[in-house]
A = this chain, B = another copy of it.
Amino acid sequence: MKCYQDQIDMMALLGEIAPLARTLANNDTDKALQIVADVLPGAVIEGFPSGSKAWTWTIPQRWEISGATIKANGETLVDAAWNPLHVINYSQPFKGAVTHAELLKHLCTHPERPQAIPFSFSFYEEIWGFSIPHEWLSRFTSDSYEVEINSRFEEGNLNTLSLFIPGDSKETFVICSNICHPVQVNDSLTGVAVAVDIAKRLLARTSRKYSYLILVVPETIGSIAFLANHPEIIKASVGGFFSEMLGTDGPLVGQRTRRGDSYWDKLLGDVLLNSNLPHQVVNFLKSAGNDEKVLDSPGVDIPTFSLTRYPYPEYHTSDDNINLINIDRLREARDLLQKIIDFAEEDYIPVLNQPGPVFLSGYGLYPNWRDDPSLLPIWQSFIDVMYSIDGVHSVVELAAMRQIPISHFFYWTDAFAEKGLLTKSPFVLRRKAT
């Protein structure tokens, strides 16, 4: 498969954002978005005030923490200063003495990964609590504990980053990724790194068929807030992808759009199948579910596929850090997503300029597969290509209908076009009427 040149140092970007204790809305999230904005000229950071409505949802308050500790007999057992994951995300403030039994109800651990701090959160239920390595439970031998959580809920903005890259058509493809998940990297910063790298490549091009919207948001509520306030984006959007968890060694998981047989599903299926990489393709919401649940929801209806390497053992723990990331795996995923975009950019409706099978020998088009065996698969696709061109469907659609690689189809139709035997009729995906 084609390998693309890096447009940014993805590992450096991950390293810069990783330590920040990002969440739905707080100062660290704002800093992280600013780091992304700094590498994406033209990007806009847009805030939505807490308490305002977005469809059926309400924008939450910002949440800051200035300290959180558990002490017993003067000894500090847990301190959020050691790791922001130690306090449950969006925990209520609390101060007081609690018994051992009471404290246990407020401690989250991950028994299967006993040395890691689990990532715990409670955005909509009002609780307080801590997360600790499972192994630490044995240190809690006292009968009573002094607990203090200095968290603050503040009015203010939930922020998002967007960059609109205009194309020749208003039809827009949304590239969505998440900025949240404090101090974690694979989930979900790898999706941000890939999105930025792709955005830079698209920006560098002199023209694009489609317009693109890069969207970096806190999970779920971020895309809801943005789209509820940008109906014009919804109206123009013909597709999208969400990506994250791309830097580990597990197989790639392509998750289809809600419709399951959309244009993007054909591209996703082709690119994964012909990647020769370990992968699976699953139906909508049958793997990790993220902002495609927003983009591809009823009334929004942007056909959105996702790409991840979910699951992986370090998921939602303090072990999901920069050391986990394999730049080669990240590049593979980036290449696949870029390839999907580029096939869509190149796609056209092949219209033969004359009836009948093309006289290959007469145009020097007969591939010399006897001398170059690598041409054999291409030659074997000839019949399928020649006899499926119908002047109606695009290359991507025809390749999917015949179940041959999109790249083989382009091989032949591009060659025909070069010889004047075929006209490339423009193809732009339009938004389906709801």
- Contact residues of A with B, CB < 8 Å? 54-58, 124-125, 224, 227-228, 234, 258, 284-285, 289, 293-294, 296-300, 352, 354-359, 361-363, 383, 386-387, 389-391, 421, 434
Contact = CB atoms under 8 A, between A and B. Distances in A.
Contacts of A352: 298-299
Contacts of A362: 56-58, 124
A298 B124 contact: no
Nearest to A383: B285
B298 A387 contact: yes
Given A258-B387, A297-B387, A358 B285 contact: no
Given A284-B387, A352-B299, A362-B56, A357 B434 contact: no
A300 B355 contact: yes
A324 B191 CA distance: 68
Contacts of A57: 356, 359, 362
B56 A228 contact: no
B298 A359 contact: no
- Label chain A's interface by main secondary structure: loop
Given A361-B125, A362-B124, A354 B55 contact: yes
Contact of A391 (B125, B298, B387, B390): B298
Contact of A356 (B299, B355, B359, B434): B299
A427 to B, nearest CB: 17
B363 A56 contact: yes
A350 B154 CA distance: 38
Given A54-B356, A297-B357, A299-B354, 5 more contacts: A227-B356, A228-B356, A234-B355, A284-B387, A285-B383
A56 B361 contact: no
B386 A297 contact: yes
Nearest to A416: B56
Contacts of A224: 356
Nearest to A301: B355
Nearest to A220: B357
Nearest to A363: B56
B357 A387 contact: no
A387 B125 contact: no
Contacts of A58: 359, 362
A381 to B, nearest CB: 12
Given A299-B352, A352-B298, A358 B56 contact: yes
Contacts of A124: 361-362
Contacts of A258: 387
A293 B361 contact: no
A352 to B, nearest CB: 5
Query: Chain B CB within 10 Å — which of A293, A297, A352 has the most?
Result: A297
A356 B227 CA distance: 9
